Every structure is written in structure tokens, then in C-alpha cells.
């Protein structure tokens, strides 16, 4: 599995845990909110409604009747109080019945409704007495009939009030149980998220940081010239394995480059030896040729001097021509040796040129390999940046969760005692968000370290690429120089061949001189011409020899 896949799996599990925590927290908040709504709408509000109904009967009807008897209220005020009480009773009782009633509560409410129906007739009679303003009848009715008719309502109303309190406590207990269950659920999810964070940190450490540190040490040793190292993580299928394969290519190229360097040094030494041998041959040839040329020049001079008395010195001329022929043969043999040495020099130059071209090709391949490795390391850096973006996203989610938990805590504080359980849940959500934020900070720190190491690896590979590029340029320059040297060597060989032709012509001329000498004095004029030609050819041969020696030494 690649590093990207492992990190993605770890972060996916962490996101799933955070999502589960969010869902669990939302469910707990929803349940708490629902219980709070039920307690308020179905228990607290009905308490107020039942109290208003009870107060309407006790204060606005019964107490108002007694106050009219004592004169504390006028007839108009009493009638108005009774009429308002009936409206209040109808409105509040209807509102109460519209709330959610338990089965027990519905039975008690039916009992209250029956008692209220029985009290309706006495209240109507009371309104009639008030309208007639019959104080004597009111006294009798209030003391004997009114109270016994309304008092039975108070008992079932009290039962309803007690039931509201009891059911509210039961709802609160259920909300507390829900809070406890949510607490343990959030705790388990938090523990799982913590395990995922630790697992992700372990994956990054064992799968990324440690292999990268080992790879850094290997690359430093390779940069120092140590090619005996063993590259770790070879053969693995993740990004570190591909990096290890590239580093191993660098190591093999370095070994091959060192081998080529040793071969080049040995070739340089052999070339120096061949050059020394060629210099020695040139020096020997120069000495021999100089002696031969001196002999030829002397012989031609003597031949010209003796042309006038050819008949007397024919035998001497024959002897001198024989000596000149022998010297010409020696000169021809020396020129052939120089030609052979020139051919060997040309062959050596071609061999060196081929080696230089091969070195240039190897250096070019090394540059391509370094560029490919650099691209792979750049891909790793981009992957690390993408991982950092995911961590920033998780950090933003944790911040939003923390903010929601803070808002929930504020709302719970506003709710007072009834929102205490809600505040505890919000506090737990806030703590979990803080833990998530710290975990993402640790992951971000690890990724920053990995990105720094990746940048250092890119810089090291860039330096290696620059070094290989310099080697490639040097190899190219050497190749160009060897091409020029090959051309010069070819010119030397060509000139040596020309000299060989010249020496052949000298040998031919000497043969003619010998033949002319044997035919005696009748060809004296021909001998004189041959002597002149011999002198001229000797000068040409000397000039060619000097030019060849100068070019050979320059080469």
C-alpha cells in the first residue's frame, strides 16, 4: 500500500470518527432539546394554566362573592369579576387540554371536567343574584350552596398539578440517562479517534519519516563517494521504494563512472607510452634521414664536378651511385616506419574518440535519470502539500465544532438549571474538538518535517544533476578535441605517404644514375642532367622531411 493510500485511510477513519461524534452529539442535543421542550410545553405551561383555573374559581368567583357581601366590591365589580373568571376558566382549560396528556392525566382531566360541569349551574345562579342585587339571598347562597359546589374542583386540580411535577421529574431523569449514554458514546468515539490519530502518527513515522531519514543518510554517503552502501527499501511498491530504486541507479552510475575514469587513466597512460615511442622513432628517423640527405647532397655535388671528366672517373661514379642507392633504400625504410607509426597513432586516436563518445552517452543517460528522480521527489512534495491541505480542512472542522460547543454552552447557561445536562454535553463536545485540534497540529508538524526533508532531497538531487551535466560537457569537449586530433593524425599519415613516394623517386633516380654510370662516358651529358635532378630531388626530400618532422612533433 502506498503512503498516500495509508494516510488517506487513516484520515478517512478519523473523519468517520469525527462524523460519528458529531452525529452522536447532535442526537444527544436533539433529545435534550426535545425533553426540555416537553417539560416546558407539557408540564410547566400546564402548571400555570391549572393555577389560573384554580385561582379563577377561588379568587374571582368565591372570594368575589364574599367581598360583595361585605361591601368590599360593588355589584358591578363583582359581576365583572365573575364574568372574567368564567372566560379565564374556559380559555385556560381549553389550552391545557390541547397539550400532550398522559393516559393517567387524561382520566384526571375527565374527572375535573365533570366536577366543573356540576359547578356551572351554581355559578349561573350566583350571576342571577348579583344581577338582582339581592344581598340577603346572596348571603344565604354563598354560605350554604356556592362553596360546597366549587370546593370539589380543587382536589382533582391538585392531582393534576402533582402529576405535572412527577412527570417533569421523570422526563428529567430520562434526559439524564440520555446524557449519560451520550457521554459514554462520545467517550468511545473519542477513544477510537485517539487510536486513529496514534495509528496515523505511527504510520507516518514508520512508513515515511524513518525511511526518509535512512534514505537521507544513504544519499549523503553516496554524495561523499561511498558506493559500497546498501540502499534500503529496494523492491517496495510505495513512493519510498521508487525513490530507493532511483538512488540505487545513482549508486550504479557512480560505480560505472569510476570504472570509466580508471579505464580513461589507463588509456591515457598507454597513449603517453605510444607517444614516447613515436617521438623516439621520429628522432631516430631524423638522424638517419639527415645522414642520408648529407650523403646524397655530397654525392650529387661530386657527380656534377666529375661530369666534365666522366670517362676518367666512371668507375668512381659507379661506386658513388651504388652508395647513394643503398642510402636511398635506408631512407625509404625509415619513411615506411614513420608511416606505420602514424597509422598506429590514428588508430589510437579513433579508439580514444570512441571511448570519449561512450562517456558522453553515459553522462547523458545519468542526467536523464537524475531529472526523472527529481520529478518523482517533486511529486512526493506535492502529495505532502495535499495531505497538509486535508489536515487544514480537519482543523477547520474541529474549530467549527469547538465554536458550536461554545454556543451550546452559552445557550445552556441561559437556560439555567434545566440546561445543566445540555451544558455538560456541550463541554464534552468542546473537549473532543480541542483534542482533535491538537491531533491535527501534531499531524501538520509531521507533514512539515516531511516537506522539509523532501526539499533537502530535491536540492541534493539538483547538485548531483549539475555535477553530471558538467561531466557531460567535459566529455563533449574531449570528444571535440579528439576529433581535431584525428584530423591532424590523418594529415600526418598522408604527408608520410608523400614522403615515401618521394624516397621511391629518389631510389628510382639512383638506379638511373647507376645505369648511366655503367654505360660509361658516352652519356656524360645525361649524367650531368641526372646529377642536377638528384640535387633538386634531395632539396625537395629535405624540405618534405623537415615539414613532416615539424608536423609530427606538433601533433
- Domains, the chain, ranges and CATH? 3-207 (1.20.120.1730), 225-554 (1.10.287.950)
| Average pLDDT of span 162-177 | 88
Give the chain's mean pLDDT. 74
CA distances from 373 to 249, 288, 530 (A): 10, 63, 78
CA distances from 458 to 4, 297, 367, 374 (A): 19, 75, 14, 6
For residues 391 and 145, is the Cβ–Cβ distance under 8 A? no
- pLDDT on residue 107: 92
- pLDDT on residue 211: 79
Most confident region among 19-33, 51-65, 82-96, 432-446 by mean pLDDT? 82-96
pLDDT tier for residue 87 given thresholds of 50, 70 and 90: very high
- pLDDT on residue 84: 93
- pLDDT on residue 239: 76
Residue 119, CA atoms < 13 Å, CB-side half-sphere? 23
Least confident window among 203-212, 217-226, 481-490: 481-490
| pLDDT exceeds 60 at position 394 | no
Q: Quick one: cell of 42?
A: 407539557
Q: Which residue has the cell 598506429?
A: 344
- pLDDT on residue 276: 77
| Average pLDDT of span 509-537 | 63
Q: Which helix (H) or strand (E) holds 358?
A: helix 314-415
pLDDT tier for residue 306 given thresholds of 50, 70 and 90: low
- pLDDT on residue 348: 61
- pLDDT on residue 83: 93
- Count the neighbouring beta carbons within 10 Å of the beta carbon of residue 443: 24
pLDDT tier for residue 92 given thresholds of 50, 70 and 90: very high
| Average pLDDT of span 292-318 | 61
Cα–Cα dist 423/415, whole Å: 9
Q: Return the higher-pLDDT residue of 34 and 194.
A: 194
Cα–Cα dist 14/106, whole Å: 50
CA distances from 443 to 200, 395, 434 (A): 8, 10, 14
- pLDDT on residue 324: 46
| pLDDT exceeds 50 at position 539 | yes
Q: Return the higher-pLDDT residue of 173 and 337.
A: 173
Name every residue whose Cβ is closer than 8 Å to that of residue 191 and which is 6 or more positions away in sequence. none
Looking at the chain, the whole-number percentage of residues with pLDDT higher than 70 is: 63
pLDDT tier for residue 432 given thresholds of 50, 70 and 90: low
Q: Quick one: cell of 193?
A: 479517534
- pLDDT on residue 453: 62
Q: Quick one: cell of 368?
A: 536523464
Which backbone phi and psi does 308 adopt, to 5 degrees?
-70, -25
For residues 130 and 138, is the Cβ–Cβ distance under 8 A? yes
- pLDDT on residue 538: 64
Q: Return the higher-pLDDT residue of 412 and 450.
A: 412
Q: Residues, the chain, total?
A: 555
- pLDDT on residue 213: 84
CA distances from 21 to 324, 346, 433, 439 (A): 116, 84, 10, 16
Nearest-10 crossing angle of helices 75-97, 103-132: 160
- pLDDT on residue 142: 84
Name every residue whose Cβ is closer than 8 Å to that of residue 336 and which is 6 or more positions away in sequence. 500
Task: Please give the angle made by the CA atoms of 410, 414 and 419, to the nearest 5 degrees.
Answer: 90
Amino acid at each position: 500500500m502506498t503512503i498516500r493510500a495509508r494516510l488517506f485511510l487513516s484520515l478517512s477513519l478519523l473523519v468517520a470518527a469525527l462524523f460519528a461524534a458529531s452525529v452522536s452529539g447532535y442526537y444527544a442535543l436533539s433529545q435534550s432539546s426535545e425533553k426540555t421542550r416537553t417539560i416546558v410545553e407539557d408540564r410547566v405551561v400546564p402548571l400555570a394554566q391549572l393555577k389560573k383555573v384554580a385561582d379563577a374559581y377561588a379568587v374571582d368567583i368565591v372570594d368575589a362573592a364574599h367581598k360583595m357581601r361585605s361591601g368590599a366590591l360593588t355589584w358591578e365589580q363583582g359581576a365583572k369579576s365573575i364574568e372574567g373568571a368564567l372566560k379565564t376558566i374556559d380559555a385556560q382549560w381549553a389550552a391545557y387540554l390541547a397539550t400532550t396528556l398522559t393516559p393517567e392525566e387524561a382520566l384526571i382531566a375527565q374527572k375535573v371536567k365533570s366536577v366543573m360541569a356540576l359547578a356551572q349551574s351554581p355559578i349561573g345562579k350566583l350571576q342571577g343574584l348579583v344581577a338582582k342585587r339581592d344581598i340577603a339571598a346572596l348571603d344565604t347562597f354563598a354560605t350554604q350552596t356556592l362553596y360546597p359546589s366549587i370546593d370539589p374542583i380543587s382536589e382533582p386540580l391538585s392531582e393534576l398539578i402533582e402529576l405535572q411535577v412527577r412527570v417533569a421529574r421523570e422526563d428529567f431523569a430520562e434526559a439524564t440517562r440520555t446524557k449519560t449514554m451520550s457521554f459514554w458514546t462520545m467517550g468511545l468515539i473519542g477513544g477510537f479517534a485517539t487510536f486513529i490519530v496514534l495509528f496515523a502518527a505511527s504510520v507516518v513515522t514508520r512508513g515515511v519519516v524513518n525511511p526518509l531519514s535512512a534514505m537521507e543518510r544513504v544519499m549523503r554517503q553516496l554524495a561523499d563517494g561511498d558506493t559500497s552502501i546498501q540502499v534500503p527499501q529496494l523492491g517496495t511498491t510505495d513512493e519510498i521504494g521508487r525513490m530507493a530504486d532511483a538512488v540505487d541507479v545513482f549508486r550504479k552510475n557512480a560505480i560505472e563512472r569510476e570504472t570509466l575514469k580508471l579505464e580513461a587513466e589507463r588509456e591515457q597512460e598507454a597513449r603517453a607510452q605510444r607517444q614516447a615511442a613515436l617521438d623516439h622513432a621520429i628522432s631516430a628517423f631524423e638522424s638517419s634521414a639527415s645522414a642520408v640527405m648529407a650523403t646524397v647532397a655530397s654525392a650529387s655535388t661530386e657527380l656534377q664536378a666529375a661530369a666534365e671528366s666522366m670517362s676518367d672517373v666512371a668507375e668512381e661514379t659507379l661506386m658513388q651511385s651504388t652508395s647513394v642507392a643503398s642510402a636511398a633504400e635506408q631512407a625509404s625504410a625509415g619513411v615506411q616506419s614513420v608511416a606505420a607509426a602514424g597509422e598506429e597513432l590514428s588508430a589510437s586516436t579513433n579508439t580514444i574518440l570512441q571511448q570519449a563518445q561512450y562517456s558522453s552517452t553515459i553522462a547523458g543517460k545519468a542526467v536523464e535519470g537524475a531529472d526523472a528522480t527529481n520529478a518523482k521527489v517533486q511529486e512526493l512534495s506535492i502529495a505532502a502539500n495535499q495531505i497538509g491541505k486535508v489536515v487544514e480542512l480537519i482543523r477547520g472542522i474541529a474549530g467549527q465544532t469547538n465554536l458550536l460547543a461554545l454556543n451550546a454552552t452559552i445557550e445552556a447557561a441561559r437556560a439555567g438549571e434545566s440546561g445543566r445536562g445540555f451544558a455538560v454535553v456541550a463541554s464534552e463536545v468542546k473537549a473532543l474538538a480541542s483534542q482533535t485540534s491538537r491531533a491535527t497540529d501534531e499531524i501538520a508538524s509531521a507533514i512539515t518535517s516531511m516537506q522539509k526533508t523532501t526539499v533537502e532531497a530535491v536540492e541534493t538531487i539538483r547538485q548531483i544533476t549539475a555535477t553530471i551535466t558538467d561531466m557531460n560537457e567535459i566529455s563533449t569537449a574531449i570528444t571535440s578535441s579528439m576529433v581535431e586530433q584525428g584530423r591532424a593524425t590523418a594529415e600526418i599519415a598522408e604527408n608520410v605517404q608523400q614522403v615515401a613516394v618521394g624516397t621511391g623517386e629518389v631510389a628510382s633516380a639512383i638506379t638511373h644514375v647507376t645505369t648511366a654510370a655503367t654505360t660509361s662516358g658516352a652519356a656524360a651529358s645525361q649524367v650531368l642532367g641526372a646529377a642536377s635532378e638528384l640535387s633538386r630531388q634531395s632539396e625537395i626530400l629535405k624540405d618534405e622531411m623537415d615539414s613532416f618532422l615539424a608536423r609530427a612533433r606538433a601533433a
